[in-house]
């Protein structure tokens, strides 16, 4: 299978697929198909008996599909993992890989509204058929809702001030374009920190629009049933909220990190960590692909 690097450059490609510890005749899942990079590497290790199910809720990913007998593309959000695996007679599976976050294609397509680099309509939907957009969040959310979005998902100390400026501005005119939003906030932080500040603003809105944290929590709750004993999960995250949730889940079996022990004092959890510390890209990979800079990978095995 050809890899479409113009659509998305796969991060930690070989390390991620090696982390699955693939058995050639088993069933695997790529939850974030994108340009097909991780899927291609998985398929290269499968025999004719092996199967790969590839999820992507973005219809744009369909353009990267190749005719392979043992790959099945599922144009759905991965929150529906268990149902889709059952519908495709692939339950449970031997390994699941997820490269979370936004694809290079989504960032670089100006009309999708994911990047503050472009003058574009504030959309930010990963699934273009979803109803909620960034415009809806900015123009319809209450003051307290906006504070929650920026504080929780952007981890911004300026959350209250940001919300106040948005509320004031939308009384004058609807906030529709990226440059409108940036113009409201351009003097809130020192110049040398401005790009990081804007990135967190856009991250917070995007997470809210796509319910990313709720979806990830729903997904994690399904993994103990969806993965066979001895099977593995490999997750690549790009911000502390995702990584913390994943770390807690591997440690305790729940996203809150609440430890529950059996009669003998053993922690009751469905997975054990394969790597104690997250695996990060090499300096060379970061140089070749700047978007790999914040990536962290965790691998766990079903007990």
Q: Mind listing the pLDDT tens digit for each residue in 63-103?
A: 888 778 899 999 999 999 999 999 999 999 999 999 997 87
Evaluate if residue 6 carries a pLDDT over 60.
no
Q: Chain centroid to CA 128: how far? A: 16
Show Cβ contacts of residue 64 under 8 Å, excluding neighbours closer than 6 positions: 4, 7, 33, 34, 35, 36
CA torsion sign for 238, 242, 247, 249 is negative
Q: What percent of the chain has pLDDT over 70?
A: 97
**108 φ, ψ to 5°?**
-90, -10
Contact between 118 and 108 under an 8 Å Cβ cutoff? The reply is no
| pLDDT (tens digit per residue) in 96-149 | 999 997 877 777 777 788 888 888 999 999 998 999 999 999 999 999 999 999
Q: What is the pLDDT of residue 64?
A: 85
Tokens of 288: 């070749």
Q: Chain centroid to CA 62: how far? A: 18
Q: Which residue in 35, 61, 205, 38 sits closest to 128, CA to CA?
A: 61
Domains observed in the chain: 13-104+212-302 (3.40.50.150), 131-209 (1.10.150.170)
Evaluate if residue 1 carries a pLDDT over 60.
no
Mean pLDDT, rounded, for 175-181: 96
* Residue labelled with tokens 């103990």: 224
Q: What is the pLDDT of residue 72?
A: 95
Q: In what helix (H) or strand (E) does residue 242 lie, and over which residues does it extend?
A: helix 240-252
Q: Which residues pair with 71 in a beta bridge?
A: 52
Tokens of 184: 């409201």
**166 φ, ψ to 5°?**
-65, -45
Q: What percent of the chain has pLDDT over 90?
A: 82
Evaluate if residue 26 carries a pLDDT over 90.
yes
| pLDDT (tens digit per residue) in 165-177 | 999 999 999 999 9
- Residue 139 CA to residue 48 CA, distance in Å, equals 52
Evaluate if residue 212 carries a pLDDT over 90.
yes
* Axis crossing angle, helix 194-209 with helix 143-152, rounded to the nearest 10: 110
Tokens of 197: 């500040």
Evaluate if residue 196 carries a pLDDT over 60.
yes
Q: What is the pLDDT of residue 192?
A: 81
Q: Which residue in 177, 134, 184, 137 sits closest to 162, CA to CA?
A: 184
Q: What is the pLDDT of residue 189?
A: 84
Q: What is the pLDDT of residue 66?
A: 74
Average pLDDT of the residues of the chain: 93
Evaluate if residue 182 carries a pLDDT over 90.
yes
Strands 93-99 and 271-273: unpaired
By three-state DSSP, how is residue 52 classified?
A: strand
Mean pLDDT, rounded, for 219-238: 98
């Amino acid at each position: 299978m050809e890899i479409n690097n113009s659509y998305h450059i796969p991060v930690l490609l070989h390390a991620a697929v090696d982390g699955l510890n693939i058995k050639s005749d088993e069933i695997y899942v790529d939850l974030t198909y994108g340009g097909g990079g991780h899927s291609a590497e998985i398929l290269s290790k499968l025999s004719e008996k092996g199967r790969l199910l590839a999820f992507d809720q973005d219809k744009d990913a369909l353009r990267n599909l190749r005719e392979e007998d043992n790959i099945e593309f599922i144009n759905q959000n991965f929150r529906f993992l268990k149902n889709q695996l059952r519908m495709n007679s692939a339950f449970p599976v031997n390994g699941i890989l997820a490269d979370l976050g936004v694809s290079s294609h989504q960032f670089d397509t100006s009309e999708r509204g994911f990047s503050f680099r472009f003058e574009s309509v504030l959309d930010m939907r990963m699934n273009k058929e979803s109803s909620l957009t960034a415009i809806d969040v900015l123009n319809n959310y209450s003051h307290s809702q906006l504070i929650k979005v920026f504080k929780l998902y952007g981890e911004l100390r300026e959350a209250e001030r940001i919300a106040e400026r948005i509320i004031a501005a939308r009384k004058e005119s609807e906030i529709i374009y990226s440059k409108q939003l940036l113009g409201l906030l351009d003097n809130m932080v020192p110049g040398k920190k401005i790009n990081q500040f804007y990135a967190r603003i856009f991250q917070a809105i995007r997470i809210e629009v796509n319910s990313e944290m709720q979806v990830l929590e729903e997904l994690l709750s399904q993994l103990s049933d969806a993965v066979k004993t001895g099977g593995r999960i490999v997750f690549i995250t790009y911000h502390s909220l995702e990584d913390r949730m994943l770390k807690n889940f591997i440690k305790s079996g729940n996203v809150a990190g609440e430890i529950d022990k059996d009669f003998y004092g053993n922690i009751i959890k469905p997975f054990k960590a394969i790597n104690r510390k997250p695996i990060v890209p090499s300096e060379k990979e970061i140089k070749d692909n700047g978007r790999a800079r914040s990536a962290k990978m965790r691998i766990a095995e079903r007990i």
